[in-house]
Structure 1
Amino acid sequence: MTVMNINALSVIRGDLLFDELNLTISKGDRIGLVAANGRGKTTLLECMAGQSEPTNGSIVRARGLRAGYVTQYVPERAYAKTLYEWVLGALPAEQAEYESWRVDVVLGDLSVPLELQHRLLNELSGGWQRIALLAAAWIQEPDILLLDEPTNHLDLHRMGLLQNWLSALPREVPIVVTSHDRAFLDATTNKTLFLRAKKSRVFSLPFSAARAALDEADAADQRRFANDLNKAQQLRKQAAKLKNIGINSGSDLLVNKTKQLNDRAAQIEASAKAAHYERSAGDIRLVNSGTHARALITLDDARVETPDGRLLYKTGRKWILPGDRIVLLGANGTGKTRLIKMVQSALSGNSGVVKCAPSVVPAYSDQHLSQLSDSDTPMVAVTGQFDIGDQRARGVLAGAGVNIQMQGTKIGALSGGQKARLAMLILRLKNPNFYLLDEPTNHLDIEGQEALEGELITHGASCLLVSHDRSFLRNVGNRFWLVTDKGLEETGSPEPFLASEMGS
């Protein structure tokens, strides 16, 4: 049964976001909505939820359809409420008075610990805040769920809880979800919409299979376009020959034939559909300046401690060699970020049980992008650190997806995706040979993640990184260190740890 029909939908918000979009949503659909940052995913969800109007086209909803829309950001008014109060407040007043038990059921299904339920939302992590938004939407018994980046801020354990919860929902409730987590999309969707300014495509496949089908379709379009242009070129060549013969012989018939051939060529050129070209949000190009050191970093049984001095674990003797792309694995709170910060401190000149080769040129990015100052502009951030001149600075910023209008804007006003790309650009400009990355894919869209993966691998970059993104760490890592109660252990594969954290 169809619950929503989207017909020839177009949205312009300064630029064209998408055009002539057609989509049918039926019961049982689990749709992954995929596009680069800033290309209209949130706008489309707002249109589906009735919170935004399209420029053209229509959305026909089943009679009485209730949409549960989980936004990407927590409303400001929510922070003064406890998690329990926020979910209860989603019910109509008369229901909230007599059916508060429904909150207990929903929070139980989402595995929210009792001790967190009565804490203020502004005291909870971003992951639990997102769970609160999800619970508030679901308690209203919607006929369709619209989820905007529900995986943001979730660790692997909560990602597993969310996946299992979605899988257990009644099959008749369709879901439309945006996410940059490719493994999550593969696990939770059966249909994928690639949203594009022109010629969006829908495949009845989860993300990875749909991405392969999309590449094939784009390649076929490219071949058709090339063939059409070749046909038009051949017709014009024939027309040119006939024109010369007609002029020399004075034949009106040949002159008319020449016009017909040119007209036919023009028709082919006008109707030829160019293959889709993704208007890139900016390439991420990392480099590796090289080093002759045998070991870049040496950990000599380093103590990893909490800020108040409590021992978390010892590293044992470990080395990071040129070409190593080491992924740190471990549950939240076990001290992965603490080790990253210890190495970063040693790279900054504070020696100790972490030794760094003199030839190491480091580049560091943490999960909060604290290396960026919100009060700076992107131009100041680049020209203040690197002697490259204003013109080149504008060029490299544009190449990183920071357009001319954004370059003079305060960094604090940029989106998370724009900040992430700016941070990666600054790393690249340092021309490092060792990257220290704590959750580098936070806020990066799938296009940006794949670009970063490709650059780290292609250039043989050495790095120590932490990531909750399963696809990213599987693709990038060639060594894995696991934090256990026994210390820091080398493991041949991340899969046992991932399976344990995801509850599978």
Structure 2
Amino acid sequence: MSATVEDIAEEIRSYIPGTEEIVVQYVAGYLLDLDDAAEDEDVLEIAQLILESAIPSTSKDALKSKVQVDQLVKKLGELLEEPLRKRAEKNRAGKSNELVRLDKVMDLSKTTMSSTIALGEGVDLESINKGKASRVDVKKLEKQEAKLRAKIEKRSRRDLYEGSKLLDQYKKQQSYEEMFMKINPLDAAAAAKNKSKDIHLPSIDVNFGSNRILSGASLTLAHGRRYGLIGRNGVGKSTLLRHIAMREVPIPSHITILFVEQEIVGDDTLALDSVLQADVWRDILLREEVSLNAKLTELEKEGDDKRFEDARGEAETRLAEVHARLAEMEAESGPARAAALLAGLGFSEADQSRPTRSFSGGWRMRLALARALFVKPSLLLLDEPSNHIDLNALAWLEDYLQTWSGTLLVVSHDRAFLDAVATDIIHMHSSRLDYYKGNFTQFYSTKSERDRNLRKEYDTQMEYRKHLQAFIDRWRYNANRAAQAQSKIKILEKLPELHPPEAEETETFKFPETEKISPPILQLNEVTFGYTPDKILLRGINIDVGLDSRIAIVGPNGAGKSTLIKLLIDDLKPMVGHVNQNGRLRVGYFAQHHVDNLDPNMNPVQFLQSKFPGKTEQEYRQHLGNFQISGMTGLQMIGTLSGGQKSRVAFAVLSLQRPHVLLLDEPTNHLDIEGLDALMSALSSWNGGVIVISHDERFITTVAKELWVCADGTVNKFKGDVQAYKSLIVSNIKARP
């Protein structure tokens, strides 16, 4: 029986306990993909190097672990004995001197040598082959070279992906304080005085591994402008933000930078203190102030000795410098600013006094956002901030960022958010950055018009070329028209080389039509629910869902939106009232944790097969294609897919249930703009019922016909659209004392 990924992974975990799971999965996948390794590559030796490099050099048991690695590699050699033997035989067969008859004859003396062939010095190929013809099939040689290049690129892409995950793991080991002080020195703010905070880098290259993300691109960020960075999933937007944040592109040193990328690590620090400590230099200076005051108090007791007078003078001078620095950064107003930021993001006064470890991942992400806003860097970098907050917090954030005094660069797929916040759009594609003035709606209009003009110009020029070529073909051998034909040939040769405009990228999703069932389909009648009898979350709820229902549920986090969905799917039982369901009803439920629960060690085809057995591989692949998981993507490990691709797999799973009603809890997270358009279009044309919980204004406006607000223990229909609801939220927040 052949070894599987899990077999190898289990051996690694057994021999080297504590190895990071990402390293375990990478080594297991690498060892099973033997066909993709170079012929002379010692796969076991490379696996040993990777495993040894994963052992912390500071570990007391490092030597013992390396001995265990040696033992593990021997065990893996036994496990993979058969595939390694076959690979060796295949490689030996490939190197045999078998004679092959080639078809096409060419003269090598008149041909440029392939770039993949190297000759030693002193060999005069032309003189050796003079007057001789070599029987080399150039097309076959080129074909082999293309295969070799494709193989190298495929390995590079895989290594790039795994390498990026390993690098991220390494970066996470560095403390926030260390990174902050390294990226933003204390004297940066002082150095910024009278200096421009505009960024203009006329030509930057951004690579990750062997992957070229930007080539000769111009990065221009004017101080005080708010830029939305958009582009397809996988184009490298987040990588660009990381390069800027780490100053791997030459951002002027006096410009302070902060990048909100991941949630904070939970510990016993209170939420309010966590925000205050985010400004590392403020925190350090405040601690130094306390220390200097204590030192001066001690020195006062020591009398008038010359030594103590000098020490007092030094301490007083330094204390004055510290006070000046703290005054510059408005340290005194820190607690009030931090509390206001947390309140805007949904933290109650009680929440602000809770330790960070008591918050869920989504709330910790909000804390990370509050910390960044508190620091007020010259350049703030945000990566999909709307993914982690509800509509109430999003409305507040949009309003807050509209008055942001520094420069903002935000990656987002939320069109309404970009319309509210962005003053400029940067479109990242084809290894370059294109700039557009205005918000997303203005960008879309301008780009669409530009694309139409480019297509029209291209078609016109191609028609002109076609006309010239037709004249040439008809008259070039006619004695009377030969001169005219030659003139046309010269015109054609002088025309610039044309490249067709990039095709507009579109996607389509498809949900299967559902059969009619008689009402009532799904109802909540006077339902009351609480997780404990003394703490009622929802009271007296009435909802009637039909096949024509299009309902969006909004409200603050913790109000009971997800609980309401669980009551509808019968995951929770009401304390009072009852749930009516048609006996034939099939409900499809999508939640973000469903994306996380996809098996990372299976490919999408295998995962669908495990959930819905009985179809052919081609049928599974065809179904995945309905959600843009096509080609080799359907055979990639789910763990290597992007968040947007995982969402597409989850939707493919959902549609195989052939539901009558879809309940979607934050379905837009991770989907790029094209994927979001595809989902909206599919839901709009589908004939079943839809209930969505979402913070995406455009998604709600497009898909839903009714807006229901879940707040204060009730769920009521809202008389107005999403924009009216968001305006109400902001006005209520501003009205707070």
Q: Are 1:427 and 2:654 an aligned pair?
A: yes
Distance across 2 between alignment mates of 1:233 and 1:155: 56
Quote how far apart the aligned CAs of 1:502 are: 3.6
The residue type paired with residue 369 of structure 2 is: L
Matches within 5 A, 1:109-128: 109-112=340-343, 113-128=348-363
Matches within 5 A, 1:239-318: 239-243=472-476, 246-247=477-478, 249=479, 253=483, 256-257=486-487, 259-260=489-490, 262-264=492-494, 267-268=495-496, 270=497, 272-278=498-504, 283-306=508-531, 310-314=535-539, 317-318=542-543
Quote how far apart the aligned CAs of 1:321 are: 2.2
Query: Which of 351, 367, 377 does residue 592 from structure 2 map onto?
Result: 367
Query: Which of 429, 433, 439 does residue 206 from structure 1 map onto?
Result: 439
Give unmatched runs, 5+ long, in structure 1.
54-58
Residue equivalent to 1:224 = 457
Task: After superposing the two structures, state which structure 1 stretch, 188-197 or 306-315, moved more.
Answer: 306-315
Query: Which of 51, 65, 75 does residue 255 from structure 2 map onto?
Result: 65
The residue type paired with residue 187 of structure 1 is: A
Distance across 2 between alignment mates of 1:157 and 1:208: 23
SS of the aligned residue for 1:368 comes to helix
Distance across 2 between alignment mates of 1:256 and 1:363: 68
Higher strand share: 1
Pick the structure with greater CA Rg: 2
The residue type paired with residue 606 of structure 2 is: V
Going from structure 1 to structure 2, the CA distance change for 1:234 and 1:435 (only over 3 Å counts) comes to same
SS of the aligned residue for 2:218 comes to strand
Matches within 5 A, 1:175-186: 175-186=408-419
Given that 2:226 and 2:407 are in contact with CA atoms closer than 8 Å, whether structure 1 keeps it comes out as yes
Q: How far does the alpha carbon of each residue in 1:333-371 deviate from its partner, in whole angstroms, 9 at most, with x for none? A: 2222112112212899xxx93223344333211232268
Residue equivalent to 1:443 = 670
Distance across 2 between alignment mates of 1:116 and 1:485: 18
Number of equivalences: 482
Matches within 5 A, 1:366-385: 366-369=591-594, 372-377=597-602, 378-385=604-611
Residue equivalent to 1:478 = 705
Residue equivalent to 2:245 = 49
The residue type paired with residue 653 of structure 2 is: I
Q: How far does the alpha carbon of each residue in 1:318-339 deviate from its partner, in whole angstroms, 9 at most, with x for none? A: 4222222111233332222112
SS of the aligned residue for 1:168 comes to coil
Going from structure 1 to structure 2, the CA distance change for 1:320 and 1:147 (only over 3 Å counts) comes to same
Residue equivalent to 2:563 = 338
Query: Which of 71, 74, 80 does residue 267 from structure 2 map onto?
Result: 80
Quote how far apart the aligned CAs of 1:21 are: 2.9
Query: Which of 452, 467, 482 does residue 694 from structure 2 map onto?
Result: 467
Distance across 1 between alignment mates of 2:670 and 2:333: 33
Query: Which of 221, 228, 238 does residue 471 from structure 2 map onto?
Result: 238
Higher helix share: 2
Residue equivalent to 1:108 = 339
Task: After superposing the two structures, state which structure 1 stretch, 486-495 or 384-393, moved more.
Answer: 486-495
Q: How far does the alpha carbon of each residue in 1:302-323 deviate from its partner, in whole angstroms, 9 at most, with x for none? A: 3343366854334555422222
SS of the aligned residue for 1:152 comes to helix
What TM-score, normalized by structure 1, do the two folds share? 0.83
Going from structure 1 to structure 2, the CA distance change for 1:251 and 1:161 (only over 3 Å counts) comes to closer
SS of the aligned residue for 2:611 comes to coil
Distance across 2 between alignment mates of 1:35 and 1:261: 39
Distance across 2 between alignment mates of 1:189 and 1:19: 25
Given that 2:366 and 2:388 are in contact with CA atoms closer than 8 Å, whether structure 1 keeps it comes out as no
Quote how far apart the aligned CAs of 1:205 are: 0.3
Distance across 2 between alignment mates of 1:307 and 1:465: 26
Distance across 1 between alignment mates of 2:431 and 2:443: 18
Distance across 2 between alignment mates of 1:34 and 1:204: 14
The residue type paired with residue 276 of structure 1 is: E
Residue equivalent to 1:21 = 217
Q: Are 1:489 and 2:679 an aligned pair?
A: no
The residue type paired with residue 333 of structure 1 is: G
Distance across 1 between alignment mates of 2:636 and 2:583: 37
Going from structure 1 to structure 2, the CA distance change for 1:63 and 1:353 (only over 3 Å counts) comes to closer
Give unmatched runs, 5+ long, in structure 2.
1-195, 290-325, 733-737
Quote how far apart the aligned CAs of 1:452 are: 1.0
SS of the aligned residue for 1:235 comes to helix
What TM-score, normalized by structure 2, do the two folds share? 0.59
